[in-house]
Amino acid sequence: MAIRFDVAERGGDLVAVAEGAGSVTIQVQRLGDASQALSARWYTSFNLGGFVATPDQDYTSASAVLSWGAGDSAPHTLSIPILDDASGGCAGEFWVGLDVASPASPVNNDGVRVTIVDNDPAPSTPLVSVGPAASFSESIGTA
C-alpha cells in the first residue's frame, strides 16, 4: 500500500497554473493493497529554489488530511487557491508536500512543485531624458 501525487505517473513533479485560474487542483492516488484504512497529510510550503511564490499573497497556504477507508482506492483531489495580485513580475513557485499519517506506508513521490504563471504585464522601465547641456563625471558621480 502506497500513495503518490498523480503527476508522478506523467513523469514529473511540476504543475503549472495561470495566476488568474483561481485555484490549482492536484490528484493523490492510493496504490496497491486497499484492504486497510489510510490517511495522509498534504501541505503547502515555500519552494526552495527558483522564483518563490509568497504564501497568502500568491497562493493560500493550506494543509489537510486525506483519508481512505478500507476498500477505498479512489483518487482524492486537493485544491489550493491561487491569488491574483496586480503586480507585474515573473512566475512564482511553491511546494505541495505529502506525509503518510497512518499506517506507515511509503510515499512514491514526496511532493509537487507548483508554478504560478503571472498574468500581469511586466513593469515598464522608466525613461530618463538628458538634455545636451548635461555632463557627467564617473569619478565623482554627479551631473
Quote the radius of gyration of the chain (alpha carbons, Å). 23
Cell of 99: 506525509
Q: Give the pLDDT of residue 44.
A: 93
Place of cell 485544491: 79
Q: Give the pLDDT of residue 129.
A: 54
Q: What letter would DSSP give residue 19?
A: G
Give the pLDDT confidence of 14-44 residue by residue, as tens digits: 788 889 899 998 888 888 788 988 888 889 9
Q: Give the pLDDT of residue 36.
A: 87
Low-confidence ranges of the chain (pLDDT < 50): 8-11, 141
- Sequence-distant (6+) residues with CB within 8 A of 73 are 30, 34
Distance separating alpha carbons of residues 71 and 7, to the nearest angstrom: 23
- Sequence-distant (6+) residues with CB within 8 A of 143 are 130, 134, 135, 136
Q: Is the pTM of this model over 0.75?
A: no
Q: Give the pLDDT of residue 84.
A: 86
Q: Give the pLDDT of residue 28.
A: 87
Question: CA 94, 99, 100 angle in degrees (round to 5)?
Answer: 155
Cell of 130: 538628458
